[in-house]
Amino acid sequence: MMDNKKLNIIIPIFSVFLGFLVGAIVMLAFGYNPIEGYSALFQGAFGSMYNIGETIRRSIPLVLSGLAIAFAFRSGLFNIGAEGQVFVGWFAAVWVGVTFDLPAIIHIPFAILAAAFAGAVWAFVPGILKATRGVHEVVVTIMMNYIALHTTNYLIRTLLSDGGSQSGRIANSASLATPGLQEMFGYSQIHWGFIVSIIFAVFVWFFLEKTTYGYELRAVGFNPHAAKYSGMSVKRNIVLAMVISGALAGIGGAMEGIGTFGYMYTHGAFTNLGFDGIAVALLGANTAPGVVLAAFLFGALKVGALSMPPLSGVPSELVEIVIAMIIFFVAASYMIRLLIMRFKKEEN
Amino acid sequence: MQFIDQFIAMMPMVLFYSAPLIFTALGGVFSERSGVVNIGLEGLMVIGAFSGIVFNIFTADIFGAFTPWLSLLVGAVAAGIFSLMHAVAAVSFRANQVVSGVAINMLAVGLGVFLTREIFGRGQTDSITQPFYTRSVPILSDIPVIGDMFFSGAYYTTYIAIIVAVLGWYVLYKTAFGLRLRAVGEHPMAADTNGINVTRMRYIAVILSGVLAGLGGATYALTISLSFAGSTISGQGFMALAAVIFGKWHPLGALGAAFFFGFAQSLSVVGANFEFLANVPGFYLTIAPYVLTVLALAGLIGRADAPKANGDPYIKGSR
């Protein structure tokens, strides 16, 4: 028998391989050359410093939304609301960036803190309702997503502009993007947020694995009854987990606000940053290092996808299919387990 | 009296906004009652909408006015087949059902838009030429007030949705099949001991949920959007999921919840017509359905208990 730790690494890798395999079969079925398709994808993701910069930029918010969802998962909660928390975080960071005039060393942390706070508040609602009233967090977070979408749109029109569809630009002192870094990466949209995302990945790893709080959260996620019996407060831990999860997703929004864009615009639909975070968390086996790697993979896939139509004629949606299949195989990992076990038996 | 007139005038709108939600929520009820969480409702709706629209475009010349009905059927069958994927993962391969559902959602949109590009050369299909039209029910629409509210200017699909909901209640609560399905969702081991084939029941339930969500998606496409693109189904499946839980996993509860959401949605569209709402900024009406749902869940509905074994794969011989 293989131990679980090994399987936790093998299953995602195997799933990624199978996902690409399905993508290749789809391409073949529609008369495309899969090698051309995938080399276009690779070119698009890593072909030049510009593309690498874009890939990193695309991964940054995914790391944070992935961490947010992984954190909640570990505590036994499903935070579908990361999407909405990204919205309010984005808004809060831009609001701070536009409104205040501070030195960068204060301004940037302040904007990030505001985003974390906004995300935390947004997640507090489902958290407290789950803890005190037993309301299913999935429904409440879905509703909170819509409220976030419409509320930020409304506030952009009224508070951050005069009925326009876009806020003003944030002050330079609040921006994570610097010309020097962007120039280094072929004038891409890369920004220093990658350091922020790594810092929080380390924080989540440390918090979950090395502190008593993290231990309690995991215990509650693993078996709430046993956790309660051994004197932990299940309710407090539920609220705490949701709030931290929301804060992380909010910071993910801040990365778009003060990093990639430097402003916020009204959205007609969801950004999918939060929903993609679900996929990132799952592929990363809900661990911080796994999330970072998975976010980078998905960032590369999403950026690379843009080069597929011009370079190989394959519609960029092929990548969505590949990502979906990867997640599907991660979910149905029992299938892979069976395969591996059968393999082992034959060896013996 | 003006208020009442406007309220009456709003009802057909409530009815047609609700229909896709009713179908899809019923699908959710069947699946979750058997113990399989189905977050994939959204994706199943996408498949229903996509195949309904494509079928409609290509066969409108052959089937004429009958096309939308056949399109509905095609949407249902296609989504039913698509849901097999969720069934295989969730029932046979003990997948985390939430994860598998998320995969279904992503795959459906990816596949739908990919195929749309292949067929139409762009990200959106043409508009259909044979949609459903609003009808007035003969005789019933002549009844004063009630006729105007419920039987004129509505789509027949809405009535079908209501009938299916009642049928769903009957099947789940008044037949042996329904009892077995619920038993499998509450205590699969006990059900197994009594000779019920847990795997088979769950497969049937998931496929039923696919068929119903497909009906919902096709209904939306054939009455409201009239074409398909990646953004055609944007969140209706999640609203249906909310309706399932809001309705406490009961077919008629889900029906009521779907009506409530339909009502709230219509209010945000036509709310400005009401005198007492005229001064309320549109924004408040837009978020009203969602805020009301949260409040209702927090206050009125409170604890909603899912079927006991919801989300747990059944592994024979485990305790």
For B145, the token pair is 């007030």
CB atoms within 10 A of CB B274: 16
Q: How long a stretch of residues is chain B?
A: 319
- For residue B290, list chain A residues with Cβ-Cβ distance below 8 A: 143-144, 146-147, 150
- For residue A235, list chain B residues with Cβ-Cβ distance below 8 A: none
For B18, the token pair is 């609700």
Span A141-195, pLDDT tens digits: 988 999 999 999 999 999 988 888 899 899 989 899 888 888 889 888 899 999 9
The reply to whether residue A330 touches residue B117, judged by beta carbons under 8 angstroms, is no
Q: For residues B176 and B69, what is the distance between their CA atoms, to the nearest angstrom?
A: 31
Residue B48 Cα, gap to closest chain A Cα (Å): 18
The reply to whether residue A125 touches residue B99, judged by beta carbons under 8 angstroms, is no
The reply to whether residue B103 touches residue A328, judged by beta carbons under 8 angstroms, is yes
Residue of chain A nearest B241, judged by CA positions: A139
- For residue A325, list chain B residues with Cβ-Cβ distance below 8 A: 103, 107
Q: For residues A253 and A153, what is the distance between their CA atoms, to the nearest angstrom?
A: 14
Residue B294 Cα, gap to closest chain A Cα (Å): 6
Q: Residue B140: pLDDT above 80?
A: no
Span B170-183, pLDDT tens digits: 999 999 999 999 99
For B244, the token pair is 């399932």
The reply to whether residue A136 touches residue B306, judged by beta carbons under 8 angstroms, is yes
Span B94-139, pLDDT tens digits: 888 888 888 899 999 999 999 999 999 888 998 888 888 877 777 7
- For residue A138, list chain B residues with Cβ-Cβ distance below 8 A: 39, 241, 245
Residue of chain A nearest B111, judged by CA positions: A321
Q: For chain A, how are helix, strand and coil distributed in percent, rounded to 5?
A: 80, 0, 20
Q: What is the pLDDT of residue A234?
A: 86
> Which DSSP symbol is given to B229?
B
- For residue B246, list chain A residues with Cβ-Cβ distance below 8 A: 139
Percent of chain B with pLDDT over 70: 91
The reply to whether residue B99 touches residue A135, judged by beta carbons under 8 angstroms, is no
Q: What is the pLDDT of residue A233?
A: 85
Q: For residues B53 and B47, what is the distance between their CA atoms, to the nearest angstrom?
A: 10
Structure confidence at residue B273 as a pLDDT band (50, 70, 90)? low
CATH numeric code, A49-296: 1.10.3470
The reply to whether residue A320 touches residue B85, judged by beta carbons under 8 angstroms, is no
- For residue A30, list chain B residues with Cβ-Cβ distance below 8 A: 118
Interface test with A, best of B32, B99, B109 (most A CBs within 10 A): B99
**CB contact set of A255 (below 8 Å; sequence gap of 6+):** A60, A61, A64, A176, A191, A193, A196, A197
Q: Is the CB of residue B81 less than 8 Å from the CB of residue B95?
A: no
First-to-last alpha carbon distance for chain B, in angstroms, is 63
- For residue A78, list chain B residues with Cβ-Cβ distance below 8 A: 98
Residue of B104, B234, B298 with shortest CB distance to A135 = B298
Residue A146 contacts B, CB cutoff 8 Å = yes
Q: Is the CB of residue B206 less than 8 Å from the CB of residue B91?
A: yes
Backbone angles phi, psi at B172, to 5 degrees: -70, -35
Interface test with B, best of A79, A142, A145, A329 (most B CBs within 10 A): A142
Residue of B89, B99, B305 with shortest CB distance to A282 = B99
Q: What is the pLDDT of residue B300?
A: 64
| The Cα angle at residue B286 between residues B291 and A253, in degrees rounded to 5 | 75
Q: What is the pLDDT of residue A3?
A: 66
ipTM comes to 0.86
> Which DSSP symbol is given to A255?
I
Residue of chain A nearest B306, judged by CA positions: A136
Classify residue A295 as exposed, middle or buried by CB count within 10 Å of its CB (0-12, 13-18, 19+).
buried
Q: For residues B196 and B199, what is the distance between their CA atoms, to the nearest angstrom?
A: 9
Structure confidence at residue B293 as a pLDDT band (50, 70, 90)? confident
Classify residue A83 as exposed, middle or buried by CB count within 10 Å of its CB (0-12, 13-18, 19+).
buried
The reply to whether residue A139 touches residue B103, judged by beta carbons under 8 angstroms, is no
CA A139 to chain CA mean position, Å:
20
Q: B96: closest CA among B28, B31, B37, B181?
A: B37
Residue-range domains of chain B with CATH: 2-301 (1.10.3470)
**CB contact set of B64 (below 8 Å; sequence gap of 6+):** B130
Q: Residue A1: pLDDT above 50?
A: no
Return mean pLDDT, chain B.
86
Torsion of CA B204, B208, B211, B212, to 10 degrees: -170
Residue of A26, A279, A320 with shortest CB distance to B102 = A279
Residue A78 contacts B, CB cutoff 8 Å = yes
CA B223 to chain CA mean position, Å:
14
Q: For residues B2 and A44, what is the distance between their CA atoms, to the nearest angstrom?
A: 60
Q: A166: closest CA among A315, A266, A62?
A: A266
For A232, the token pair is 């932990």
